[in-house]
Amino acid sequence: MLKSRSRLRLMVVQIMIVSLFGTLFARLWYLQVVGGDVYQAAAQENAVRDIEVAAPRGLIVDAMGRPLVANRTSWVVTVDRDVLEKLGNSTRTAVLARLADTLGLTGTELGRRTKTCGEKGAARSPICWNGSPYAPVPVAKDVSQSLAASILEQSEDFPGITAEARKVRAYPAPFGINAAHVLGYNSPITEDELDAAEKSDDPTISPLSVVGRAGLEKEYDRWLRGSPGDRQVTVDSMGRVLGDGDDIAPTPGDTLVTTIDAKVQGVVERQLHQTIMTARKTVDPVSGRRYSADSGAAVVLDATTGRVIAMASQPTYDPNVWTGGITQGDLERLYSHRAGTPLLSRAFQGQFAPGSTFKPFMTAGAMTNGGYSPATRLNCSSYVRVGNRDFKNYESGSYGYIDFAKALQVSCNTFFYRVGYGLWVKNGANTTDVDTPDPLVKMAEAFGFGETTGIDLPSEATGRIADRKWKKAYWRANKDYYCTLGKQPGEDFIHRFAREFCVEGYTYGAGDAVNFVIGQGDTIITPLQLATAYAAISNGGTLWKPRVAKAIVSPDGALIKKIKPRRASTVPVPKRVLRYIDTALQGTTQTGTSAWRFVGFPLDKVKIRSKTGSAEVYGKQSTSWLASYNEQYVVVMMVEQGGTGSGTSGPAIRKIWESLYGVKGEKVDVRKAVEPGAKPPASLPVFERDGRISAPVLQAPARDFDGQLNAPAATAVSPTHRKSGPRRQARAGPSW
């Protein structure tokens, strides 16, 4: 009886187990066979993906509100590598071949474009994709809208591939300006930068972010970049979009208002280019061949604040070359020495011997700490012998005994040779003591030479003051090379110099002192340094840190941040000495070395001071310098291997001054000046609530230089900007 009951219970359990497994198998068969298509589709439809939406970068506008950098729409084709990896090899190959054919690329080129920087077979940076490896890789930019639509409409043929409209940088170029070195450029964020941003919890950074790499784009990147948005989409396993979800709109970047005036910038760029082209057609009387004029720079500063009104450099490049992805050929040209290294700004990164433009600062040093005075008279002979070498005049002839003012006006080298030699002897004539005091070196440092000006642009060069300490440090770093070279047979200049340098290259002799005082030898400066130094003479002794940015304004027109002028220091020169130098340099334009370029110019109304310079560099033609200023502006131009200061740069400098004051013939009409009222605007542009920007409102009517009251110059950027409607001018337009 007991055994029967046990067998019965066992049979019941077995029947239950078989029933359960039968039910389970039936359900699995139903899900996979009968209802498989339905549930597979449902699973595909439930995949939700968050897509980053890049923020439009903020505008960069000039002082009058004219856009210098804006945005435009570009259709971009991207490849989601995660989706492609899920495809079979044959399917993936077919998809990429189809895409390459659609884009007009070879399979090899498309393959290179899908790789991130550092991967085998990837293009060189910055051409390769240096963004996050988890973000879709852009493989084609600026494609036509019809091609983009075709890819989107045939999504089943292009799994993991999409086309979308993105905002990319555009350069409106008002008045045909370039300004590439000032504005800068961008490139996609790198993986390291993205990791750093995630660690710092920076909400403005995303895998789609572009980052400023040079110029204002880099210096003010955190203001310009904005904050990314987010878009939710439902996708299937092949990456095809099935529907839209919630959207979070991106926040555009802020607007950067600059001190640049596009009209002045246009004039300066054209004059610099024309000067270089003219120099290349002019025969150098020294070498007997045409001037190379391989580079140049020009700077216009507000002498009262140090703000940069215009800054140009040649050779330059088209800033659009970075938009839509730079090609390998373009990239190589930008870095090519043969092409003149167009990426290098000669204005604040190029370093050149200053020549005679250095003499006013040497005058300040000699009169302030060197024991010289306005009463000093020295012989401006045709040459002066120092040691066993004759040092000659370059620009001037022999004028006999003259004072500092006359020496500046005629640019007499031998006068200043005597000053440099006299101070060298006065301070002990010691050739080896690096701690010997030197009032001329001290004054050069006080005017900012040998260090950066502090401009709000990255990668500024320091220049170099070739004093005793520098010379000894240079000798220590290079003596082994020159000693080895000197042991080789040869009697040419290089081998003789090598032997001399090996033995006594650390000494600071009389020859070094006389070269230094006229801006020759190993001293080098940037054109921007020279402009800020002359601004200090103009304004009575304040050395400013140049500024290109003026304000940061939100996308809706509210003032976020004022960028005020910043003082670097006050030069340690008595006011009477500065006034003496100022008066002397006014004479340079009236009767001195630059006077022949200003014949017929109304110097009685626009009182321009100037100093010419022709710097000699071994193995090269002379570098042309012309520095000029008045109470309001500083205008400096440099042309490397371009000839004499006034001969080469004089006509361009005059035309820039004519544009600044509306000069025609001998008449001055500030109503025709490139800047309204012949001065930089005190207030900010007016930002309309609908996004339009108008020029600043003039604070008062302008007066011409005959004392007549004129109506204010028109301030609208364009006719549409003057329509009525609510406006704001950064909190009522603060006066700067």
Average pLDDT over every residue of 717-724: 36
In this structure, are 69 and 131 located in the same domain? yes
Residue with tokens 């852009």: 138
User: Which parts of 587-726 are beta strand (E)?
Assistant: 609-615, 623-629, 633-640, 663-664, 667-668, 686-688, 693-694
Residue 88: pLDDT above 90? no
* Gap between the Cα atoms of 496 and 708, Å rounded: 67
Listed range (51-55, 57-61, 93-97) with the worst mean pLDDT: 51-55
In a domain, 620, yes or no: yes
Kindly state the average pLDDT of the residues 373-386. 96
Look at residue 722 and tell me whether its pLDDT is greater than 60: no
Q: Which of 256, 289, 324 is the last residue of a domain?
A: 256
Residue 711: the pLDDT is: 40
Give me the pLDDT at residue 36, please. 56
Over range 336-356, report the average pLDDT.
96
Residues 148, 58 share a domain = yes
- Whether residue 39 is predicted with pLDDT greater than 80 in this model: the reply is no
- Specify the higher pLDDT residue, 565 or 31: 565
* CB-based contact 212:221 (threshold 8 Å): yes
DSSP class of 554: -
Q: Please state the domain count of the chain.
A: 4
CA distance 501 to 535: 38
Distance CA 438, CA 590 (A): 33
Residue 129: phi and psi, rounded to 5, are -75, 115
Q: Are 46 and 234 in contact (CB under 8 A)?
A: yes
Q: What are phi and psi of 732, to 5 degrees?
A: 70, 20
Instruction: Report the chain's terminal Cα–Cα distance, integer Å.
Output: 111
Pair (536, 637) in one structural domain: yes
Element (H, E) at 332: helix 328-335
Same domain, 234 and 368: no
Report phi then psi at 549, rounded to 5.
-90, 145
CATH, residue 148: 3.90.1310.10
The SS3 of residue 41 is helix
In this prediction, what percent of the chain has a pLDDT beyond 70? 86
Task: Tell me which residue of 227, 224, 448 sits closest to 348, measured CA to CA.
Answer: 448
Do 588 and 487 belong together in one domain?
no
Tell me: do 197 and 279 sit in the same domain: no
Burial of 507 (0-12, 13-18, 19+ CB in 10 A): middle
The CA distance from 210 to 640, in Å, is: 35
Considering the domain boundaries, does residue 331 fall inside one? Answer: no
Give CA–CA dist 537/534, Å, rounded.
Answer: 5
651 and 551, same domain (yes or no): yes
Assess contact for 31 and 23: CB atoms under 8 A. no
pLDDT of residue 169 exceeding 80, the answer is yes
Residue 144 lies in a domain: yes
How many CB atoms neighbour CB 102 within 10 A? 18
Residues 242 and 102 in one domain: yes
Is there a single domain that holds both residue 689 and residue 668?
A: no
Q: 27 lies in a domain?
A: no
Residue 330 in any domain: the answer is no
Measured between alpha carbons, how far is 351 from 525 in angstroms, rounded to an integer?
5
The answer as to whether 678 is a domain residue is no
What is the rounded CA–CA span in Å between residue 482 and residue 656? 46
Q: Give the pLDDT of residue 585.
A: 98
**C-alpha pair distances (Å), 172 with each of 56, 64, 255, 720, 730:** 16, 14, 15, 17, 24
Contact assessment for residue 420 and residue 405, using Cβ atoms and an 8 Å cutoff = no
Domain that holds residue 576: 262-316+346-353+527-672
Supply 577's token pair: 């000495």
pLDDT on residue 330: 87
Residues 177 and 310 in one domain: no
Helix ranges (H only) for 154-308 are 180-183, 191-199, 215-219, 221-224, 262-280
Taking a C-beta distance cutoff of 8 angstroms, is the pair 699, 682 a contact?
Answer: yes
Q: Are residues 166 and 284 in the same domain?
A: no
The domain spanning residue 654 has which CATH number? 3.40.710.10
Q: What is the DSSP string of 563-599?
A: ---EEEEE-S--HHHHHHHHHHHHHHHHTSTTGGGST
CB-neighbour burial class of residue 413 (10 A; exposed 0-12, middle 13-18, buried 19+): buried
- Give 456's DSSP letter: S
d(CA 622, CA 636) in angstroms, rounded, equals: 17
Residues 6+ apart with CB under 8 A from 20: none
Give tens-digit pLDDT for 605-616: 999 999 999 999
**3-state DSSP call for residue 161?**
strand
Residue-wise pLDDT tens digits, 391-442 = 988 766 789 999 999 999 999 999 999 999 999 999 999 999 999 999 999 9
Does residue 252 sit in the same domain as residue 270?
no
Does the CA dihedral 10-16-18-21 come out positive or negative? negative
Taking only the tens place, the pLDDT of each residue in 111-132 is: 888 887 778 888 766 667 766 6
Query: Does any domain span residue 325?
Result: no
Quick: pLDDT tens for 271-286.
Answer: 999 999 999 999 999 8
**What pLDDT sits at residue 374?**
97
**The two structure tokens encoding residue 44:** 């595909």
Strand partners, 385: 390
The reported pLDDT for the residue numbered 205 is 86
pTM given for the model: 0.87
Residues 553, 60: Cα–Cα separation, whole Å: 10
Confirm whether 363 is domain-assigned: yes
Of 206, 225, 256, the last residue of a domain is 256
Q: Enumerate residues 6+ apart whose C-beta is below 8 A from 359.
A: 407, 408, 411, 416, 517, 518, 519, 611
Nearest to 608 by CA among 617, 599, 616: 599
Tell me the pLDDT of the chain averaged across its residues.
88
- Record the tokens describing residue 208, joined without a space: 């789609």
Query: At which of 672, 693, 724 does a domain end?
Result: 672
CATH value at residue 503:
3.40.710
Answer for the pair 208, 187: CB distance below 8 angstroms, yes or no.
Answer: no
Measured on CA atoms in the order 73, 75, 76, 80, is the torsion positive or negative?
A: positive
pLDDT for 243 equals: 60
d(CA 435, CA 69): 50
Considering only CA atoms, give the Rg of the chain: 34
Residue 4's pLDDT band (cuts 50, 70, 90):
low
